[in-house]
C-alpha cells in the first residue's frame, strides 16, 4: 500500500430520485491506515423520480438538466484534480425505460460512466462505513430516499438481511404507493425486525437529517421518536412559504420532508423503537469507502 505525502481526491456521484450529488473527498494514508475527509459537496435538485415514477421514463427536459449537471461535475472533478470517481444511479433510473439512452448520452457527452445499482447494493454501500464496524453491536439501517426505502440489519460488519421497497418521498407526494405495498412493507418489518432487541437503529437520508436539525437535538445525541413526531406535526401546520423562508428549507425539500418523515415514523412504530441515531452520511459516503478498498 502506497504512503501518500499529500491528499489525493476521490469523487462520488449519487444520482437519486429527488436530487443528484457530487461529493469530493480528501483521501489520506498514514501508517497503513486510510482516512477520508469531505472536501466539497454539490447538490442539484433534479427530481428525476417525478418523471420516472409517473410516466416510466425521464423527460427530455430533465435529461438535458442531468446532462448539463454531469458536464459541470466533470469540470469540477478536473479542477479539483480528482484521481478516481464512481457514479451510481438509484431508484429513478432503475425505473426508467430510457435509462440506457441516458447513460449512453452521459458517457458520450460528459465522459462519465454511470452504473445503475440495485436496492440491495445501495443498502450495502450506505452501511459500508467504519463507524458501524463495532463487532459487539447490531445495527438496523433505515434509508428513505425519493423513490425507495432500504431496510438493512448488520452484525459483526456483515449484512444479515436487507430489503428495498418502492416507498419514498417523491412517490408519496405523487400518490404512487398503494395499500398493497404498505402491507408488504409492514409485514416485512414485523416478520424480520420487530422482534429484534439490543440493536442500534440508524436513520439515513437528507430528510431525517433536516428533521434532526429542526428538532433541536444536539449533535452526537440520539433523536427520540417523540421529537420526530412533534417536529413533523409542526411542519404539517406550516405553509410552504414559512418552511422556505423561516426554516430555510430548499424548495425541493419542502414538499417531501413530511411524507419522508412519516415513513420513518411508520418503521419505528412497527419496530417499537423510541430513539434513533442520525449520522450525516449517505450513499456518496459509502461509495468513497468502496473506492478506498482499491488503494
Q: In this predicted structure, what is the pLDDT of residue 3?
A: 58
Q: In this predicted structure, what is the pLDDT of residue 230?
A: 97
| DSSP letters for the chain | -PPPSS-EEEEEEEE-SS-EEEEEEEEEEETTEEEEEEEEEEEE---HHHHHHHHSS--HHHHHHHHHHHHHHHHHHHHTT--EEEEEE-HHHHT-TTHHHHHHHHHHHH----EE--HHHHHHHHT--GGG--TT-EEEEEEE-SS-EEEEEEETTEEEEEEEES--HHHHHTT---HHHHHHHHHHHHHHTTT--SEEEEEESHHHHHHHHHHTPPTTSPEEHHHHHHHHHHHHHS-HHHHHHTS---HHHHTTHHHHHHHHHHHHHHHT--EEB--S--HHHHHHHHHHTT-
Alpha-carbon distance of 133 to 131, in angstroms, equals 6
Q: In this predicted structure, what is the pLDDT of residue 197?
A: 78
Cβ proximity of 263 and 153 under 8 Å: no
Alpha-carbon distance of 129 to 278, in angstroms, equals 14
Domain parsing of the chain, residue ranges: 8-117, 127-283
How many other CB atoms sit within 10 Å of the CB of residue 56? 11
How many other CB atoms sit within 10 Å of the CB of residue 45? 12
Q: In this predicted structure, what is the pLDDT of residue 6?
A: 65
Alpha-carbon distance of 180 to 184, in angstroms, equals 6
Q: In this predicted structure, what is the pLDDT of residue 201?
A: 94
Alpha-carbon distance of 181 to 270, in angstroms, equals 15
Q: In this predicted structure, what is the pLDDT of residue 157?
A: 75
Q: For the domain 127-283, what is the CATH code?
A: 3.30.420.150
pTM metric for this prediction: 0.90
Does domain 8-117 match CATH 3.30.420.40?
A: yes
Q: In this predicted structure, what is the pLDDT of residue 245?
A: 95
Q: In this predicted structure, what is the pLDDT of residue 134?
A: 64
Query: 8-117 and 127-283: same fold?
Result: yes
Q: What is the pLDDT along the chain (295 residues), one digit of tens a residue?
A: 455 556 899 999 999 999 999 999 999 988 778 889 999 999 999 999 999 999 999 999 999 999 999 999 999 999 999 999 999 999 999 999 999 999 999 999 999 999 999 988 988 888 877 667 666 778 999 999 999 999 999 887 788 899 999 999 999 999 999 999 999 999 999 999 987 778 899 999 999 999 999 999 999 899 999 999 999 999 999 999 999 999 999 999 999 999 999 999 999 999 999 999 999 888 999 899 889 887 7
Amino acid at each position: 500500500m502506497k504512503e501518500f505525502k499529500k491528499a489525493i481526491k476521490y469523487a462520488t456521484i449519487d444520482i437519486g430520485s429527488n436530487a443528484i450529488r457530487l461529493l469530493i473527498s480528501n483521501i489520506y494514508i498514514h501508517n497503513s491506515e486510510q482516512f477520508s475527509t469531505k472536501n466539497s459537496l454539490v447538490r442539484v435538485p433534479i427530481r428525476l423520480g417525478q418523471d420516472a415514477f409517473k410516466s416510466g421514463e425521464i423527460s427530455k427536459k430533465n435529461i438535458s438538466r442531468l446532462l448539463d449537471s454531469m458536464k459541470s461535475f466533470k469540470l469540477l472533478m478536473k479542477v479539483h484534480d480528482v484521481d478516481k470517481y464512481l457514479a451510481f444511479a438509484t431508484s429513478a433510473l432503475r425505473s426508467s425505460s430510457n435509462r440506457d439512452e441516458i447513460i449512453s448520452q452521459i458517457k458520450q457527452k460528459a465522459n462519465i460512466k454511470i452504473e445503475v445499482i440495485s436496492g440491495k447494493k445501495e443498502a450495502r454501500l450506505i452501511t459500508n462505513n467504519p463507524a458501524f464496524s463495532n463487532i459487539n453491536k447490531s445495527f438496523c439501517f433505515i434509508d428513505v430516499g425519493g423513490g425507495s426505502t432500504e431496510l438493512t440489519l448488520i452484525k459483526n460488519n456483515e449484512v444479515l438481511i436487507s430489503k428495498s421497497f418502492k416507498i419514498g418521498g417523491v412517490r408519496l407526494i405523487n400518490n404512487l404507493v398503494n395499500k398493497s405495498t404498505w402491507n408488504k412493507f409492514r409485514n416485512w418489518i414485523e416478520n424480520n425486525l420487530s422482534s429484534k432487541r439490543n440493536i442500534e437503529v440508524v436513520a439515513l437520508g437528507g430528510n431525517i437529517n433536516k428533521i434532526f436539525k429542526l428538532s433541536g437535538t444536539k449533535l452526537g445525541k440520539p433523536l427520540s421518536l417523540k421529537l420526530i413526531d412533534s417536529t413533523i406535526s409542526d411542519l404539517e401546520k406550516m405553509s410552504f412559504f414559512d418552511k422556505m423562508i423561516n426554516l430555510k428549507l430548499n424548495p425541493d425539500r419542502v414538499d417531501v420532508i413530511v411524507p419522508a418523515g412519516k415513513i420513518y415514523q411508520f418503521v419505528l412504530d412497527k419496530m417499537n423503537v423510541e430513539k434513533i441515531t442520525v449520522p450525516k452520511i449517505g450513499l456518496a459516503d459509502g461509495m468513497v469507502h468502496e473506492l478506498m478498498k482499491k488503494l
